[in-house]
């Protein structure tokens, strides 16, 4: 099963309706943005959008216009993203937090959707826009605020590899399977992170190992529900050897197998403590987090939490109910008349 592409063009509507249609599409596909076309009545645009794992990609072909991200639209957003724009044709100006950068074809930049920004396109442009969930780009040794709204070249260094990956990803979207999409999203995120580290002056040999470690942990977290998740499965999915996996995790005190089980147990513990799941059978929770045997789960959970799953649930729900109970009314001084 592949993710279908979404395509929209303003050519099918009257000129007076085109900007409204475009604004609605941009708001829905690229995040809450306010659009205007400098008063041009001949505005036109085409956008093609698709998904590679957790990364959303859009290719825009549009006449001159500008977009603004306002505090109001930020408050209405439900997730923080880092937005990468690769300039394919034309020039564009990006502004955020007092910084300004002009992009020409073959260059890309990145900015933060949790803060206001503006993009001005004084002429027709072709742009590739990628939205990466901010919480999935590890900030190890990165001062992200200082790296936003900078110009990255698509012609040299790690930033060129990121550029090539972005362009290739969009070309491959029509036939991309969900599993391949997950891997491609990890590759793009890793290369963007490495480009930022390179710009920040960080050494790259160590950060490549760290980036692989982050990819491993991201993959594990997304596939904990799969009972077949193991070291071999992770190695195949990330197209690397078991030795590379072990090298990437060499500074961790836990093995990959232990990490997988611990994160499954932590997920089960959260579900057991959730009052909205109080009637959900314990076995159902265990199976949903990748355990194939209730006996194995009970034994592992007791070793992890020091009590059985049922005991843990009862205590957690009791603590939660106590925390939600209204405070007892204050008793004032007793006055004897």
105-132 pLDDT, tens digit each: 999 999 999 999 999 999 999 999 999 9
The span from the CA of 266 to the CA of 131, in Å, is: 29
Question: Over 70: is that where the pLDDT of 299 sits?
Answer: yes
Q: Which fold has domain 1-202?
A: Jelly Rolls (2.60.120)
pLDDT bracket for residue 279 (50, 70, 90): very high
Residues 6+ apart with CB under 8 A from 82: 110, 111, 112, 113, 131, 132, 133, 134, 137, 144, 192
Token output for 158:
């790690």
Q: Measuring CA to CA, how many Å separate 99 from each of 96, 120, 198, 239?
A: 5, 14, 20, 39
Burial class (CB in 10 A: 0-12, 13-18, 19+), 181: buried
Average pLDDT over residues 210-223: 80
- Those residues whose C-beta lies under 8 Å from the C-beta of residue 239, and which sit 6 or more positions away, are 183
For residue 15, pLDDT over 80 is answered with yes
Q: Regarding beta strands 6-9 and 99-103, do their DSSP bridges make them parallel or antiparallel, or are they unpaired?
A: unpaired
Average confidence score pLDDT of the chain: 84
Task: Inform me whether the pLDDT recorded for 205 exceeds 80.
Answer: no
Q: What is the pLDDT of residue 320?
A: 67
Question: pLDDT digit string (tens) for 68-116?
Answer: 988 877 877 767 899 999 999 999 999 998 888 999 999 999 999 999 9
In whole angstroms, give the CA distance from residue 162 to residue 187. 9
Contact call for residues 213 and 231 (beta carbons, < 8 A): no
* Res. 25: pLDDT tops 50: yes
Mean pLDDT within 188-205: 80
- Evaluate whether 52 touches 128 at the Cβ level (below 8 Å): no
| Residues 151 and 91: beta-carbon distance below 8 Å | no
pLDDT value of residue 321: 62
Closest CA to 244 of 234, 229, 254, 253: 234
Spell out the domain ranges in the chain. 1-202
Confidence of residue 264 (pLDDT cuts 50, 70, 90): very high
* Contact indicator for 91, 123 with CB cutoff of 8 Å: yes
**pLDDT of 305 above 80:** yes
Whether the CB-CB separation of 305 and 264 falls below 8 Å is answered with no
The confidence band for 324, taking pLDDT boundaries of 50, 70 and 90, is very low
Instruction: Please report which confidence band the pLDDT of residue 329 belongs to, taking 50, 70 and 90 as the band edges.
Output: very low
């Amino acid at each position: 099963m592949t993710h279908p592409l979404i395509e929209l063009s303003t050519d099918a509507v009257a000129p007076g309706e085109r900007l409204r249609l475009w604004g609605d599409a941009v708001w829905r596909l690229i995040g809450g943005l306010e659009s205007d076309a400098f008063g041009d009545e001949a505005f036109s645009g085409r956008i093609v959008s698709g998904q590679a794992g957790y990364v959303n990609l859009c290719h825009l072909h549009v006449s001159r216009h500008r977009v603004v991200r306002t505090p109001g639209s930020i408050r209405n957003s439900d997730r923080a993203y880092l937005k990468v724009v690769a300039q394919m044709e034309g020039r564009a100006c990006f502004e955020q937090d007092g910084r300004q950068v002009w992009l020409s074809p073959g260059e890309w930049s990145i900015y933060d959707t949790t803060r206001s920004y503006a993009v001005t396109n004084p002429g027709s442009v072709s742009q590739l826009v990628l939205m990466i969930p901010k919480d999935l780009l590890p900030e190890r040794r990165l001062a992200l605020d200082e790296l936003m709204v900078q110009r990255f070249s698509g012609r040299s260094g790690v930033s060129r590899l990121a550029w090539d990956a972005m362009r290739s990803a969009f070309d491959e979207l029509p036939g991309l399977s969900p599993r391949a999409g997950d891997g491609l999203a990890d590759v793009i995120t890793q290369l963007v992170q490495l480009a930022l580290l390179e710009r920040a002056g960080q050494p790259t040999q160590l950060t490549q190992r760290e980036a692989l470690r982050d990819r491993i942990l991201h993959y594990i977290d997304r596939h904990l529900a799969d009972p077949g998740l193991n070291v071999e499965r992770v190695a195949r999915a990330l197209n690397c050897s078991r030795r590379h996996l072990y090298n990437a995790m060499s500074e961790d005190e836990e093995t990959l197998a232990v990490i997988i089980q611990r994160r499954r147990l932590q997920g089960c513990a959260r579900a057991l403590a959730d009052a909205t799941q109080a009637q959900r059978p314990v076995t159902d929770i265990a199976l949903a987090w990748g355990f194939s045997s209730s006996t194995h789960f009970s034994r592992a959970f007791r070793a992890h939490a020091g009590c059985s799953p049922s005991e843990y649930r009862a205590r957690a729900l009791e603590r939660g109910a106590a925390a939600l109970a209204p405070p007892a009314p204050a008793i004032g001084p007793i006055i004897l008349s």
